[in-house]
């Protein structure tokens, strides 16, 4: 079986010799884009270039001969395969250089991605000193260094942000349809699924929230939260009785206050990276108030089914309440 280097050499040779299948060409392009510096392509390019140099090419033509051939309309056949190999080597080298240049300079920013595991949180410290705590099954894409007068990150899932104040560099989070902008404050953003309501809750400071899909916007102060309303294309702003409930998950605590089982199923699916479904509308509309802390998913489901007189079954990663 080929190792990675051998596979790249094979793909390059296939390309240069015009023998690439569409699948091999796609694989080669992906390999070039994924390569950090493309040094692993140098040797095979050099080998093919040198091999082409030893092939015979007619290079001492005279203008008189060329003119005569044009008049006679009987052009001489040249060794096109050799020229094609030169062209292929040159074109591929140019392509590799272009992709490398694009990766290094088009964005001008080196991004990193942090990912939390199911049922686990993860703390990240950004270049400016901002602390981000990811809830379970969440990811944050962020620059190695902030530049261009602003601090931009991309969130999928849920996170608590403790943003270092910088009046000259606003801090912006893109999460699904939401764009949240602050100068320095503490707040949470929840955006696991673009098809579900997304929420921003402020603990300290001021936060500006914009729903990019509906252009709805809100300015939040401590204790306020904004939730997307896709049906009415708006943001619903409300005040929480206890804003710290929004970060209860940092203590491995799940708080449900008069929540429908449908909402509970979504929260459990997000936290444990499984699918919790309810195949009965009557059960889905039931409300519960409960607090679960440091408990496994089966423990929580056992508690919920006792409260609601329901049952559940497991099929691989799908938990069905009925």
Range of the domain at 307: 252-321
Q: φ and ψ at 278, to 5 degrees?
A: -125, 120
CA distance 6 to 40: 10
What pTM was computed for the model?
Answer: 0.66
Q: How many CB atoms lie within 10 A of CB 109?
A: 13
pLDDT for position 230: 86
pLDDT by residue, tens only, the chain of 322 residues: 455 666 777 777 767 666 767 666 666 766 665 565 555 556 655 565 555 444 444 444 444 443 444 344 444 443 444 444 444 544 554 454 444 444 444 456 789 999 999 999 999 999 999 999 999 999 999 999 998 788 999 999 999 999 999 999 999 999 989 999 998 899 999 999 866 889 999 999 999 999 998 999 999 999 999 999 988 899 999 999 899 999 999 999 999 989 999 999 999 999 999 999 998 899 999 999 999 999 999 999 999 999 888 999 999 899 999 9
Q: Based on the domain organization, do 233 and 295 belong to the same domain?
A: no
The residue out of 73, 89, 106 marking a domain boundary is: 106
pLDDT for position 231: 87
Q: Based on the domain organization, do 126 and 214 belong to the same domain?
A: yes
CA distance 171 to 176: 16
Q: Based on the domain organization, do 230 and 192 belong to the same domain?
A: yes
pLDDT for position 87: 47
Q: Based on the domain organization, do 28 and 145 belong to the same domain?
A: no
CATH number of the domain encompassing residue 294: 3.55.50.30
State both tokens at 277. Answer: 């479904």
Q: Based on the domain organization, do 179 and 194 belong to the same domain?
A: yes
Q: Based on the domain organization, do 116 and 213 belong to the same domain?
A: yes
Cβ distance 12 to 93 under 8 Å? Answer: no
Q: Based on the domain organization, do 202 and 218 belong to the same domain?
A: yes
* 3-class secondary structure, 280: coil
Q: Based on the domain organization, do 124 and 64 belong to the same domain?
A: no
Q: Based on the domain organization, do 238 and 281 belong to the same domain?
A: no
Q: Which helix (H) or strand (E) holds 173?
A: strand 171-175
Q: Based on the domain organization, do 101 and 117 belong to the same domain?
A: no
Partners of 210 in the beta sheet? 179, 217
Q: Based on the domain organization, do 81 and 29 belong to the same domain?
A: yes
Q: Based on the domain organization, do 230 and 270 belong to the same domain?
A: no
Going by DSSP bridges, is the β-strand pair 151-162/139-143 parallel, antiparallel, or unpaired? antiparallel
The residue out of 244, 262, 289 marking a domain boundary is: 244
């Amino acid at each position: 079986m080929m190792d990675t280097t051998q596979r790249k050499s094979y793909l390059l040779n296939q390309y240069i010799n015009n023998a690439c299948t569409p699948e091999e060409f796609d694989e080669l392009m992906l390999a070039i884009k994924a390569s950090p510096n493309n040094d692993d392509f140098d040797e095979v390019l050099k080998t093919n270039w040198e091999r082409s140099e030893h092939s015979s090419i007619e290079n001492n033509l005279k203008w008189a001969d060329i003119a005569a051939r044009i008049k006679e309309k009987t052009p001489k056949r040249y060794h096109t395969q050799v020229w094609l190999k030169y062209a292929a080597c040159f074109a591929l080298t140019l392509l590799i250089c272009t992709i490398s240049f694009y990766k290094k300079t088009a964005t001008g920013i080196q991004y990193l991605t942090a990912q939390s595991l199911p049922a686990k949180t993860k703390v990240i410290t950004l270049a400016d000193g901002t602390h981000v705590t990811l809830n379970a099954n969440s990811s944050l894409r962020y620059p190695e260094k902030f530049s261009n007068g602003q601090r931009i990150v991309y969130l999928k899932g849920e996170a608590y942000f403790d943003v270092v104040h910088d009046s000259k560099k606003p801090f912006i989070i893109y999460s699904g349809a939401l764009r949240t902008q602050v100068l320095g404050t503490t707040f949470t953003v929840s955006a696991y699924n673009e098809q579900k309501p997304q929420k921003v809750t402020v603990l300290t400071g001021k936060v500006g929230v914009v729903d990019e899909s509906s252009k709805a916007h809100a300015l939040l102060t401590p204790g306020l939260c904004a939730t997307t309303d896709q049906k009415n294309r708006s943001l619903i702003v409300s005040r929480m009785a206890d804003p710290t409930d929004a970060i209860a998950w940092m203590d491995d605590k799940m708080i449900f206050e008069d929540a429908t089982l449908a909402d509970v199923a979504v929260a459990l699916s997000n936290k444990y990276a499984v699918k919790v479904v309810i195949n009965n509308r009557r059960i889905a509309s039931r409300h519960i108030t409960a607090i679960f802390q440091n408990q496994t998913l089966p423990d929580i489901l056992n508690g919920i089914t006792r409260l609601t007189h329901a049952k559940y079954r497991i099929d691989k990663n799908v938990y069905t309440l009925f």
